[in-house]
């Protein structure tokens, strides 16, 4: 365990500068340079063509959809789109790299010079400067057999699965993010979350962190003060949770601060994020790797027409931040309510519920209340619960029309979640509808009063609170199907009337 400085102390004494390189796997039907299907989770080495296996003689051809998605991303991040750009070869030997070079873009990215506004917890907006977004292909996957936790250390042998080889990636590189101060960890995590939301809104990727669809390399360096030149940085590779990104930045700031305060120097190195939020040194980057970049001679330069770029721009969907602002207003939610909704991942389901014909407030109440509780119990995501927004809206409609009380509605909800069908079906099957027959209600009230003459006297004597006991008795007698407010009215009418 490295020596650490208290985080507050560290950011008081040093100015942290962070940088992020975010890779997103694009959800195209086929790979970036060949026709192999781009699917997750298939049997190893079944999703390959001669090209994605790098067989002798095979050649790449650019996937037009991949280029379109890259342009979409570039535009959404406020970037310029290059008039011409090229692919380059990044040469290095690694078993998961089937041509022993990665087709990427080095000095000629498709998109450059952008900015991403990132909303923070306290409602402020921090703008992250974007240097570039470029296209490249993913590598295959090494599977180490015989070691602990699938790590290469101690493994007997390794197998390679090339299904992922050639899957299109866009890499988004920030400029050094300065002025973040103590908010650096939050800014880093919120930035990647913002990108994730943008990718989803654009429809270019499922952007599932747990599948590694989105992965971040996190750079951190410290300097004495903001006017000093940038300090030596470390790069922590492939962090794929928001909490992990926050933890890595926080840990590296504390770790590097302890080193610098002790008069030491920070090693420029690659580090690996650990499950406990710490980082561990990987190989030392004494010199930059020599990738021997040169323009990919098998691919002609790309020149996206301006008309095409403008068409893509015109077709961009509403960005998540703007959409959240709009929905917040439309639904009449407070800032903190909206933030909770977003953090709970409930935005989409609430929006769908509203679209199915209910109010924002009512939809929020269901999803953030009862359904969030169930989801937590079942350890599942809200949108994976066996209930649809349409069913939730229907449930609320039954309440609004007076056919269900809130209490009955919760029982119906339980029925729907248990797979008993739509709310109407559950109501019918369980006989949960509010008792609206006035005659039957009156009979039940009279029965309860007759059974509790002392209570009736108290009420007459002015102790109105005692009415609750009668209402309770009626509710019990009607198995909760009576509307308590109506029962109360009837009791008062009978006793005082």
Partner 1 sequence: MNNFARSEIATASGDSLIRSTAAQQAAALAAGDISSRELTRLHLDRIAAVDGAVGAFLDVDAEKALAAADAADAARRRAAEADESLPELTGVPTAVKDLIVTRGQVTTAASKILEGWVPPYDATLVKNLRAAHLPILGKTNLDEFAMGGSTEHSAFGRTANPWDLGRIPGGSSGGSAAAVGAFEAPVAVGTDTGGSIRQPAAVTGTVGVKPTYGTVSRFGVIAMASSLDTPGPMARTVLDAALLHDVIGSYDPLDSTSLPDAPRGMADVVRAAQAGVDLTGLRVGVIAELDGGEGYQRDVVDSFHQALGLLEEAGAAVQTVSLPHLEYALDAYYLIMPAEASSNLARYDGMRYGLRVEPAEGPVTADRVMAATRGAGFGDEVKRRIILGTHVLSAGYYDAYYGSAQKVRTLVQRDFAAAWQQADVLVSPTAPVTAYRFGEKDDPLAMYKLDVTTIPANLAGVPAMSLPSGLSGDGLPVGFQILAPQRADDRLYRAGAVLEQMLENKWGGRLLAQAPELEVQ
Of 50 and 264, the one with the shorter C-beta distance to partner 1 is: 50
Instruction: Evaluate whether 174 touches 20 at the Cβ level (below 8 Å).
Output: yes
Q: Could you tell me the smallest distance in angstroms from the CB atom of residue 89 to partner 1?
A: 5
Q: How many residues bind partner 1 (CB under 8 A)?
A: 31
Question: DSSP state, 368?
Answer: I
Of 64 and 472, the one with the shorter C-beta distance to partner 1 is: 64
Residue 136: strand, helix, or coil = strand
Question: Should residue 151 be labelled a site residue for partner 1 when binding is judged by CB under 8 A?
Answer: no
What backbone torsions phi and psi does residue 411 show, to the nearest 5 degrees?
-65, -40
The Cα–Cα gap between 140 and 160 comes to: 7
Q: Could you tell me the smallest distance in angstroms from the CB atom of residue 79 to partner 1?
A: 25
Tracing tokens 């390399």 back to the chain, one arrives at 217
Q: Could you tell me the smallest distance in angstroms from the CB atom of residue 101 to partner 1?
A: 6
Question: Should residue 57 be labelled a site residue for partner 1 when binding is judged by CB under 8 A?
Answer: yes
Question: Should residue 98 be labelled a site residue for partner 1 when binding is judged by CB under 8 A?
Answer: yes
Instruction: Evaluate whether 73 touches 109 at the Cβ level (below 8 Å).
Output: no
Question: Should residue 91 be labelled a site residue for partner 1 when binding is judged by CB under 8 A?
Answer: yes
CA 312 to mean position of chain CA atoms: 24
Sole binder of partner 1 in the list 55, 145, 284, 322 (CB under 8 A): 55
Distances in whole angstroms, Cα of residue 21 to Cα of each of 148, 228, 240, 241: 29, 23, 12, 14
Question: Should residue 155 be labelled a site residue for partner 1 when binding is judged by CB under 8 A?
Answer: no
Instruction: Evaluate whether 222 touches 258 at the Cβ level (below 8 Å).
Output: no
Burial of 408 (0-12, 13-18, 19+ CB in 10 A): buried
Of 224 and 298, the one with the shorter C-beta distance to partner 1 is: 298
Instruction: Evaluate whether 128 touches 137 at the Cβ level (below 8 Å).
Output: no
The Cα–Cα gap between 427 and 416 comes to: 10
Of 57 and 123, the one with the shorter C-beta distance to partner 1 is: 57
* Binding positions for partner 1, 282-311, rule CB under 8 A: 288, 290, 292-294, 297-300
Q: Could you tell me the smallest distance in angstroms from the CB atom of residue 34 to partner 1?
A: 9
Sole binder of partner 1 in the list 12, 39, 42, 95 (CB under 8 A): 95
Question: Should residue 53 be labelled a site residue for partner 1 when binding is judged by CB under 8 A?
Answer: yes
Of 44 and 480, the one with the shorter C-beta distance to partner 1 is: 44
Enumerate binding residues for partner 1 (CB under 8 A). 50, 53-62, 89, 91, 93-95, 98-101, 158, 160, 288, 290, 292-294, 297-300
């Amino acid at each position: 365990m490295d020596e650490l400085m208290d985080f507050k102390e560290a950011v008081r004494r040093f100015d942290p500068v962070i940088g992020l390189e975010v890779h997103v796997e694009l959800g195209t039907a086929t790979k970036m340079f060949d026709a192999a299907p781009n699917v997750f989770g298939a049997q190893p080495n079944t999703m390959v063509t001669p090209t994605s296996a790098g067989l002798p003689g095979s050649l790449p051809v650019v996937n037009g959809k991949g280029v379109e998605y890259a342009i979409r991303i570039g535009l959404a991040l406020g970037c310029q789109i290059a008039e011409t750009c090229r692919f380059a070869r990044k040469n290095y030997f690694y078993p998961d790299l089937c041509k022993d070079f990665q087709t990427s873009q080095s000095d000629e990215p498709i998109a450059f010079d952008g900015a991403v506004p990132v909303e923070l917890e306290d409602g402020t907006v921090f703008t992250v400067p974007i240097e570039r977004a470029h296209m490249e292909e993913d590598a295959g996957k090494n599977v180490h057999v015989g070691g602990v936790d699938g790590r290469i250390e101690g493994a007997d042998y390794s197998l390679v699965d090339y299904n992922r080889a050639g899957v299109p990636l866009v890499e988004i590189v920030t400029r050094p993010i300065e002025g973040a101060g103590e908010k650096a960890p939050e800014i880093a995590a919120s930035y990647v979350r913002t990108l994730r939301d943008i990718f989803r809104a654009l429809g270019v990727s499922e952007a599932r962190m747990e599948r590694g669809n989105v992965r971040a390399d996190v750079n951190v360096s410290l300097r004495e003060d903001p006017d000093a030149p940038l300090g030596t940085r470390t790069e922590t590779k492939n962090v794929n949770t928001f909490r992990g990104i926050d933890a890595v930045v926080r840990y590296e700031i504390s770790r590097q601060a302890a080193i610098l305060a002790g008069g030491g120097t920070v090693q420029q190195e690659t580090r690996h994020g650990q499950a406990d939020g710490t980082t561990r040194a990987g190989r030392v980057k004494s010199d930059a790797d020599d990738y021997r970049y040169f323009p990919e001679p098998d691919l002609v330069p790309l020149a996206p027409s301006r008309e095409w770029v403008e068409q893509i721009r015109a077709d961009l969907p509403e960005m998540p931040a703007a959409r959240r602002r709009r929905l917040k207003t439309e639904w009449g939610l407070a800032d903190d309510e909206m933030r909770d909704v977003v953090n709970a991942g409930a935005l989409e389901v609430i929006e769908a519920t509203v679209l199915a014909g209910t109010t924002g407030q009512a939809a929020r109440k269901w999803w953030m209340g009862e359904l969030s509780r169930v989801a937590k119990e079942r350890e599942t995501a809200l949108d994976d619960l066996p209930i649809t927004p349409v069913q939730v809206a229907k449930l609320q409609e039954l309440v609004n029309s007076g056919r269900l009380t809130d209490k009955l509605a919760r029982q119906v909800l339980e029925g729907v979640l248990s797979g008993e069908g739509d709310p109407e079906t559950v109501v019918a099957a369980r006989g949960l509808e509010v008792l609206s027959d006035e005659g039957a209600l009156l009979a039940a009230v009279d029965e309860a009063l007759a059974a509790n003459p002392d209570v009736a006297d108290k009420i007459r004597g002015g102790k109105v609170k005692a009415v609750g006991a009668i209402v309770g008795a009626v509710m019990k007698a009607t198995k909760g199907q009576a509307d308590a407010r109506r029962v109360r009215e009837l009791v008062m009418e009978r006793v005082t009337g």
